[in-house]
Amino acid sequence: MSKDTEVDMKDVELNELDPEKQPMTGDGQAAGGEKNGSVKLKVPEDEVTFTGLSKEELMKVAGTPGWVRTRWVLLVLFWLGWLGMLAGAIVIIVQAPRCKPIPEMNWWNEGPLYQIDDVEAFSDGLAGVEAKLDEINKLKVKGLVLGPLHNGQVDQPEALNLQEIHPSLGKEEALVAVLEKAHKKGISVVLDLTPNYWGASSWFGTGDLDNVMEKVMAGAEYWLNLGVDGIKVSDLTVATSSVDWSKLQSAVQINSTDNPKKRLLMGVVEGVSADAVSRLVNTTGVDLVLSDLLSAKKGGVERIMAMDTLNSQQRSLGWGLGAAQRDQLSKQATTPGLIRLYQLLLFTMPGTPVFTYGDEIGLQAAGDESPKMVWDIETEPVEGAAVNETAEAERTERVAIKKWFKTLSELRGKERSLLHGDYYSLFSSPSSLSFLRLWDQSERYITAVNWGSASQLLALKLAPTEGVELPETATVKLSTDADLEVDSTIRLDEITLKPGQAIILQFPYIG
């Protein structure tokens, strides 16, 4: 066999498909005479690849009049668009209502104060106070007012020792532990240095005032250096008549380089008018005045007039029902419903609410003795155990009152209108009152309370005030009346409160 024949045979073998690679559709050829499954590729003879324009070609094209005009048009459009957006932003800023600057707020303006005048009755002395700080912190209080704690004898000014804690209450180390733990939780501590707190006159006799004031000043400096955040004294009108009052004021309020937080000088007054309280705020230099106006003035008309007089000084004003006398709220609010009502009122009035321990659960005081604080009220009876129905009902009621207290405290702490907002009176009667709180563009709130024994129709009326109007309707934010459901809408000209009921209404700012 020749070489040519061998080459031809190899070509035949290569052109024949392997049987395993034969298409499964049959042995016939596809249309066009091609075998089924074969692909014909046409390879161009001269394939041209586009590599883009060279730098010289680009520069040549970019310099043509058409492209120059196009670039200028795009540049002008870009800047016109940018200037248009800038002008629009300026118009929006100019036309938008200006935000009202926040007033200067101190820590005692940011939440309630919680008085523990009898630390033994509260929780077995200062060590017990430290142990209960976690529970106190849940109430969102901003300050504790402790004591008086100092040692002395009734009506004996010579035995007064304001730099020593009474042995039955704990040692100095226990107070330091309270201060350290409270500060970690953001709670300030004020010490009551009322000299003769157990006697008939808080400052002993008239002739003793100046000598006693020197002791108070020395005691204040001692405890402030130890870390106390403020000093409280009772009978402010008597204390400020001392020639050394300004020295005590300077000792408390002097700025400290070690601790930039402002320290509180707090005074208590009883039996004076709202005008007299206003004068004390203006003339004594005291930071916070706690009065008994709410306790002394029983009528809604008198109470609303006191608020009308004092609301502009709200950052220097403390309100309480019984707090000025170091009494529980329950001494005057004798039912659970009234306790809720006055909690609501105190948390929404223009000023700092001041409570005595136990007010958060409606603790009942009996006689002149300090009531023993009740703990573990959230602990429910063991299933199957015998239950005293009266005691269980009381426990359940205390849990509900505490929950109400915490809700009010949280609301006041986060709403600017309630925290430091403007005040406008709306209505008052012998047994009810209503007022409006608002701040700039924040949500507005209306408080309405009726502590009387009959239903009361409240005709809310706002004196003509520029930029402030009442809407036709408002939303119920909080209510002690089950018939006035939360989030329901009611007309402001048809508000009827049942006996012992209270509500907070909310409506938005409308520019």
Please tell me the predicted confidence (pLDDT) of residue 367: 78
pLDDT surpasses 80 at 18:
no
Higher per-residue pLDDT: 386 or 252:
252
Mean pLDDT of 141-160: 93
Mean pLDDT of 344-356: 98
pLDDT cut 90: percent of the chain above it: 71
pLDDT surpasses 70 at 416:
yes
Pick from 4-8, 314-318, 468-472: least confident:
4-8
Mean pLDDT of 40-45: 55
Please tell me the predicted confidence (pLDDT) of residue 38: 52
According to DSSP, the residues that pair with 423 across neighbouring strands are 437
Q: pLDDT tens-digit profile of 66-87?
A: 778 888 888 899 999 988 999 8
Please tell me the predicted confidence (pLDDT) of residue 503: 98
Q: Are 475 and 488 in contact (CB under 8 A)?
A: yes
Please tell me the predicted confidence (pLDDT) of residue 257: 55
Is the N-terminal amide bond of 44 cis, ω within 30° of 0? Answer: no
CA distance 422 to 196: 38
Angle (nearest 5°) at CA 418 between 282 and 460: 95
pLDDT range class, residue 395, cuts 50, 70, 90: very high
Please tell me the predicted confidence (pLDDT) of residue 50: 60
Q: pLDDT tens-digit profile of 449-502?
A: 999 999 999 999 998 887 799 999 999 999 999 999 999 999 999 899 999 999
Pick from 96-110, 176-190, 371-385: least confident:
96-110
Q: pLDDT tens-digit profile of 423-450?
A: 999 999 999 999 999 999 999 999 999 9
Query: What is the pTM assigned to this prediction?
Result: 0.82
CA distance 252 to 121: 29
Mean pLDDT of 249-262: 79
DSSP codes joined into one string, 130-167: HHTHHHHHTTT-SEEEE---EEEETTEEEEEEEEEE-T
Please tell me the predicted confidence (pLDDT) of residue 238: 96
> What are the C-alpha distances in Å from 284 to residues 145, 156, 232?
21, 27, 14
Q: pLDDT tens-digit profile of 154-164?
A: 889 999 999 99
Please tell me the predicted confidence (pLDDT) of residue 40: 56
Structure tokens at 130: 């430290």
Closest CA to 146 of 160, 170, 135: 170
pLDDT range class, residue 102, cuts 50, 70, 90: confident
Mean pLDDT of 235-262: 87
Residue 241: phi and psi, rounded to 5, are -85, -5
Please tell me the predicted confidence (pLDDT) of residue 7: 46
Please tell me the predicted confidence (pLDDT) of residue 259: 66
Pick from 278-282, 291-295, 384-388, 429-433: least confident:
384-388
pLDDT surpasses 90 at 99:
no
Please tell me the predicted confidence (pLDDT) of residue 14: 45
Please tell me the predicted confidence (pLDDT) of residue 103: 86
Average pLDDT across the chain, whole number: 89
pLDDT cut 70: percent of the chain above it: 88
In order of their start, the domains of the chain are 109-414 (3.20.20.80), 424-507 (2.60.40.1180)
